[in-house]
Structure 1
Amino acid sequence: MLSFVKSLSRSQKRNIMLAVDSMLVPLALLLALSLHSSGGQSILSMMLAYLPVLPVFLVISGALSVLLGVSTIQLNAYESAAIGLTGAYSVALVLVSVLLTTAAQIPVTVATHIVFGTSFFIFSVISRAVLLQIVLAIYRRSAVRCRVLIYGAGTTGTQLVSALRNHEKIEPVAFVDDSRALHGLVVARLPVYSPVRIAEIAAEKQIDRVLLALPSLSLPKQAQISRRLQKMGFEVQALPSFAQLIGEEALVDKLTDVEPKLFLNRDEVSSVTGAGGIESYEGKTILISGAGGSIGSELCRQVLQCHPAKMVLFELSEVALYKVDMELRQIAEDIEVEIVPVLGTVTDTLQVRRILTKHNIQVVLHAAAYKHVPLVETNPLTGLTNNVLGTQTLATEAATAGVERFILISSDKAVRPSNVMGASKRLAEFVVRDLATRVPFGEGPIYTMVRFGNVLGSSGSVVPLFQEQLRRGGPITVTHRDVSRYFMTAQEAVHLVLRAGAMAKGGEIYVLDMGKPVPIERLARQVIESAGYTVRDANYPEGDIEIEFTGLRPGEKMTEELSLTGNMVGTGHRKIFSADEAALSEIEIASALRSLRAALAASDEQAAKDVAMRWVEGYSLAVREQFENAPKFNPMS
């Protein structure tokens, strides 16, 4: 039966409605004549008198139905406007009846005509309501309907039920609502239950989906409810998007991210590269390693403003290289800068040598490094190979190829590190500084290092993580209540890196002034409040988002430092300082690298860590303190 209904064309459906109306005309006429006659004989005689004009009346009624569009109105769209159109159609039929009976001199009273029109109108409306229920019954029996539970029995919920009453695929079954005053009541002909009974109601009424009709509730709270219901095994969708009610679209939040620089709590350093040092990059052939990363890609953008002759983008990740290459090519066409994307790794000596020689590289900006502390901590061999030996390979080959400047992007985590990532960056600094002391001035690259802290908005940094947790409705996780970090934006960090690289004479460790360290808990609160929500804590239990403290991760410090000694000398730029720190000798560096290579060749993680602990200041002490302060295993707990 369902296949027959679906196979009907629009013209066939119109003809069916015309036939229905054609049958209702004589039925309404019979009722009107019977109410204004005194006996059965009179009804028969009046019908016989009316019979000559009836065919003409039916033809005209059909033409009027098509003209007014009454027969083309869809059953599921038959509402107030359509009912009004049916009323106009009924009035038109009354006028036609009056004209025909007058022309044929049939004795019919005005009251009979009025009763005819009223009867036809009522019959027409009822017939369409009955036909709609018949069609819906066919769909219900022939197709699987989605039985939904509506969370929220307020105005939006009741309007939603009204909209779904005649839907062929969705059947509202019941409400749940947090308001105790509504529990046990019947709203919009559906019972209202407490949310604590959702599992019981779902089993009893065979619920397929839960619809959140709570548009006034904050998005994080909607997300919290949605996540709780999904854990119970329900499919959850939410208003106001009606596309979500009949499709497969998941709960969508409409949070917009705030620019990371708004969380600096200080003025951002101007990132106009042309303010000084541009001559060190203008017209040069520049290689940027790690070009697809957060810092690497920003280096590419700002170096491009210096109008180099050629930029070689050296990147391990194919996706990251593709993205930065596509972005830069659109800009480079206007300023005639050649862009060369190279897919590879800085640990490959032959490839590095070939690239430096083939493209006559004059400046190397080395940003390629594994920087995520927890990941490097669990993959120490990979982290040390890339960060230490990769730097040694690229820096050594740069001297052989006649590179003019080599700038290493370092990290504040290299200062008294408590993790493998920080130790690897400190060893990389030792390698570059050793080369700087061994290359005579003017006969090789000017080697320099630039050290700074966390970059707001970079991949894996806290602000994007907090914003993603906010989208999911929280909680926002902070490792420790007292943990703090230095922050810069990628734009200002790269601007200062380029300025420092331009002013370098060789062997300097430049440290960027990052202002005061920012407490991470305060940063989390700023992210929550900047999105228009409130923090849920002991003082405000009705808040939107909770901050959860998870404990320090392996290798993580409470605070970071920018210098080992604290002795920093000013430079020509107020935000750039030079750190006065001891370095390893050439023999010590050679011994460290030899031991590290042996540990890596043997795939011995502990031996590799031991190398770092021996040569990196403070690393062994920091690791020991972490071990001593870690919670001890209690067999009785």
Structure 2
Amino acid sequence: MSPNSTSARPDPVRKIHDDLPPARPPGPPAGLRTLVVGAGSAGTALVRDLGRTPAFGLTPVGVLDDDPAKAGRAIGGVPLLGPLTDLTELAVRHRAQVVALAIPGLPAGRVRTLATAAAAAGAAVRYLPSFLSALRREVVGSDMRGLDVNRLIGRHEVHVVSSDIRTVIEGRRVLVTGAGGSIGSELCRQVNAFGPSELYMLDHDESNLHRLQLEIWGEALLTDHSLVIADIRDRPRIQQIFRDLKPEVVFHAAAHKHLPLLERHPSEAVKSNVLGTDHLVEAALATGAERFVLISTDKAADPTSVLGASKRLAELIVQANARDARGLGTGVFSAVRFGNVLGSRGSLLSVLAEQMRSGGPVTVTHPDVTRFFMTIEEAVGLVLEAGRMARGGEVFVLDMGDPVRIVDLVHNFAAQVQLGAEEVEIRYTGLRAGEKLNEALFSEGEVRLPTEHARIYATAVDPAAPAGTCPEDLAGGLTGLYEAAAGNCDAEVLRRLAGLLPGYRAPQEAPVPALSSPYPDGF
């Protein structure tokens, strides 16, 4: 099969899951993909109602029930997928956007367990008011109540993606790095809807790629050329991929992102977040990519952590090469920052769900700690919109509203899964090395610039900012940084990070001592 052939690939927009009944008309669901929990009279009536009333905006794609006698049956033409204990797994597998709890009279503890299991999969939760059971009347779709993300994040969810994105995606070869991660996989799903000629999904974890292909195309034979196993640290491999595939649009989502771990292992942060980005930008320039978008983080603004410092350097690499690209009249290179993402693997929402489900205390670093929040759909919409608007060298930032106190988010989440405030035990652990009490979206040396999109800003260096905001000899400084990281000399890595980013201060706590040799005795 040639790299540009698509004849053997199922149409991802028109193909539906193999496990859905063949009698259903081809095409994507008209509403949000919904799992209905409960195959009794309430669940059956709900499936019927939602199917008859598209205005509810929910399309059942599966039903869950614990009754073994119902296994393998279809409820109103919708397949029964498995027991309630498999809710999280099935919600992920079937890309459920909503989980509807349709068992009136279910004990509150069971409701909480199911609601947190659904939230852990990134699905919104709808449940039937308990009074329905007492009234014993027939359920209708309008009786559903939901997990309101607006209450969780303290603002209305912003949908920034527009049909104009098609102008930069349709008919082009698109590469997504870190494709198996939460942001990367959502990027792949949304990019795929805009008709690229090829969608190349790059990740170093083959299990993630298998899952992603199954989610997008409904089958995962792992024989398709669109799946690319590679480590962005491997420069020759990245160069080979770009030479062979010649991607025209690149979304770079691959990164190490867990702040406390990177404080302990700064060399690893540099190898992936800085050097890996350098390899990709270099290859994109060499092969004439039209657009390159780096996914960054709000922690890159006035960084106090290794994570933030490494991502700020990645931004600077993109900006420096954007200038070179403009001079050559070639590609457009830009970056986009955003805050914490609800619904991603390891995100606060999934951690809260797991802690509440296990009955343990909810851990929060500080009573007054705040963060900016957005949904994963918002984050990906921003990345796509930035790719369209970019002219080269911008760092885009979404207007994310006011920061949210973590404690308030915990209480809002608990209330929506029917858990009283007195039932939520919060244990404060203290801020960890590198963590800020309050995040910022813009550095002190940056100014906020409006763009054509009302909810998206760009950054520019403030002329009044102190010298050294962007190092003059970035390339030279990076060479020394890469050498220190290659030798796993964490103390030297921290020293060089501080030298490259004058506002960054290395943590006081010493990192884990590096091995005296890359290969201990016996290897």
Would you call these one fold, judging by a TM-score over 0.5? yes
Q: How does 1:137-216 map to 2 (within 5 A)?
A: none
> CA shift at 1:262, angstroms?
5.3
Indicate conservation of the 8 Å contact 2:364/2:428, yes or no: yes
Indicate conservation of the 8 Å contact 1:432/1:447, yes or no: yes
Instruction: Quickly say closer, same or farther: Cα 1:343–1:221, change in 2 above 3 A.
Output: closer
Instruction: Quickly say closer, same or farther: Cα 1:534–1:591, change in 2 above 3 A.
Output: same
> CA shift at 1:587, angstroms?
5.0
Indicate conservation of the 8 Å contact 2:232/2:276, yes or no: yes
Q: Per-residue displacement from partner, 1:333-388 (whole Å, max 9, x unpaired)?
A: 9xxxx870111111111111111121121011001000111121122111110000
Indicate conservation of the 8 Å contact 2:267/2:486, yes or no: no
Indicate conservation of the 8 Å contact 1:446/1:506, yes or no: yes
Q: Per-residue displacement from partner, 1:575-601 (whole Å, max 9, x unpaired)?
A: 111111268768521122111122123
Structure 2 residue corresponding to 1:613, chosen from 491, 494, 498: 498
Structure 1: runs of 5 or more not aligned: 1-214, 223-255, 536-542, 628-637
Instruction: Quickly say closer, same or farther: Cα 1:515–1:332, change in 2 above 3 A.
Output: farther
> CA shift at 1:477, angstroms?
0.9
Correspondence 1:549 to 2:428: yes
Q: How does 1:203-602 map to 2 (within 5 A)?
A: 218=109, 258=147, 263-270=152-159, 272-274=161-163, 276-330=164-218, 340-441=226-327, 443-535=329-421, 543-565=422-444, 567-581=447-461, 587-602=472-487
> CA shift at 1:331, angstroms?
9.4
Q: Per-residue displacement from partner, 1:160-182 (whole Å, max 9, x unpaired)?
A: xxxxxxxxxxxxxxxxxxxxxxx
Indicate conservation of the 8 Å contact 2:210/2:220, yes or no: no
Q: Per-residue displacement from partner, 1:501-552 (whole Å, max 9, x unpaired)?
A: 11111111111111110000001111211111112xxxxxxx3221111111
Q: Distance in 2 between matches of 1:555 and 1:595?
A: 23
Indicate conservation of the 8 Å contact 1:510/1:576, yes or no: yes
What SS does the aligned partner of 1:573 have? coil
What SS does the aligned partner of 2:461 have? coil
Indicate conservation of the 8 Å contact 1:220/1:470, yes or no: no
Indicate conservation of the 8 Å contact 1:466/1:524, yes or no: yes
> CA shift at 1:272, angstroms?
4.6
Q: Distance in 2 between matches of 1:574 and 1:555?
A: 32
Q: Distance in 2 between matches of 1:422 and 1:563?
A: 12
Q: Distance in 2 between matches of 1:348 and 1:432?
A: 19
TM-score normalized with structure 1 length: 0.54
Instruction: Quickly say closer, same or farther: Cα 1:267–1:260, change in 2 above 3 A.
Output: closer
Q: Which of the pair has the greater relative contact order for Cα pairs under 8 Å at 6+ separation?
A: 2
> CA shift at 1:416, angstroms?
1.4
Instruction: Quickly say closer, same or farther: Cα 1:216–1:349, change in 2 above 3 A.
Output: closer
Indicate conservation of the 8 Å contact 1:257/1:467, yes or no: no
Q: Distance in 2 between matches of 1:571 and 1:354?
A: 36
> CA shift at 1:259, angstroms?
7.0
Instruction: Quickly say closer, same or farther: Cα 1:270–1:576, change in 2 above 3 A.
Output: same
What SS does the aligned partner of 2:430 have? coil
Q: Distance in 1 between matches of 2:499 and 2:373?
A: 30
What SS does the aligned partner of 2:425 have? strand
Indicate conservation of the 8 Å contact 2:470/2:501, yes or no: no
> CA shift at 1:216, angstroms?
7.0
> CA shift at 1:442, angstroms?
5.7
What SS does the aligned partner of 2:402 have? coil
Q: Distance in 2 between matches of 1:569 and 1:221?
A: 44
> CA shift at 1:325, angstroms?
1.6
Q: Give the counterpart letter for 1:387 in structure 2.
A: N
Q: Distance in 2 between matches of 1:269 and 1:441?
A: 35
Structure 1 partner of 2:57? none
What SS does the aligned partner of 2:174 have? strand
Instruction: Quickly say closer, same or farther: Cα 1:550–1:584, change in 2 above 3 A.
Output: closer
Instruction: Quickly say closer, same or farther: Cα 1:328–1:262, change in 2 above 3 A.
Output: farther
Indicate conservation of the 8 Å contact 2:250/2:291, yes or no: yes
Q: Give the counterpart letter for 1:424 in structure 2.
A: S
Q: Distance in 1 between matches of 2:218 and 2:160?
A: 21
What SS does the aligned partner of 1:268 have? coil
What SS does the aligned partner of 2:355 have? helix
Q: Distance in 2 between matches of 1:604 and 1:318?
A: 30
Q: Give the counterpart letter for 2:257 in structure 1.
A: K
Q: Give the counterpart letter for 2:346 in structure 1.
A: G
Q: Per-residue displacement from partner, 1:51-108 (whole Å, max 9, x unpaired)?
A: xxxxxxxxxxxxxxxxxxxxxxxxxxxxxxxxxxxxxxxxxxxxxxxxxxxxxxxxxx
Instruction: Quickly say closer, same or farther: Cα 1:271–1:438, change in 2 above 3 A.
Output: closer
Q: Distance in 2 between matches of 1:517 and 1:500?
A: 22
Indicate conservation of the 8 Å contact 1:295/1:367, yes or no: yes
Instruction: Quickly say closer, same or farther: Cα 1:219–1:477, change in 2 above 3 A.
Output: farther
What SS does the aligned partner of 1:505 have? coil
Q: Give the counterpart letter for 1:270 in structure 2.
A: H
What SS does the aligned partner of 1:580 have? strand
Q: Give the counterpart letter for 1:277 in structure 2.
A: I
Q: Per-residue displacement from partner, 1:455-501 (whole Å, max 9, x unpaired)?
A: 11111211110110000113111110000000011101111211111
Instruction: Quickly say closer, same or farther: Cα 1:548–1:346, change in 2 above 3 A.
Output: same
Q: Distance in 2 between matches of 1:418 and 1:403?
A: 33
Instruction: Quickly say closer, same or farther: Cα 1:216–1:506, change in 2 above 3 A.
Output: closer
Q: Distance in 2 between matches of 1:584 and 1:217?
A: 54
The count of residues paired between Structure 1 and Structure 2 equals: 366
Indicate conservation of the 8 Å contact 2:469/2:502, yes or no: no
Q: Distance in 2 between matches of 1:325 and 1:550?
A: 39
TM-score normalized with structure 2 length: 0.66
Q: Give the counterpart letter for 1:546 in structure 2.
A: E
Structure 2: runs of 5 or more not aligned: 1-105, 114-144, 463-467, 511-523
Indicate conservation of the 8 Å contact 1:347/1:386, yes or no: yes
Q: Distance in 2 between matches of 1:320 and 1:605?
A: 30
> CA shift at 1:220, angstroms?
11
Instruction: Quickly say closer, same or farther: Cα 1:218–1:586, change in 2 above 3 A.
Output: closer
Q: Distance in 2 between matches of 1:420 and 1:452?
A: 17
Indicate conservation of the 8 Å contact 2:111/2:417, yes or no: no
What SS does the aligned partner of 2:190 have? helix
Q: Give the counterpart letter for 2:292 in structure 1.
A: F
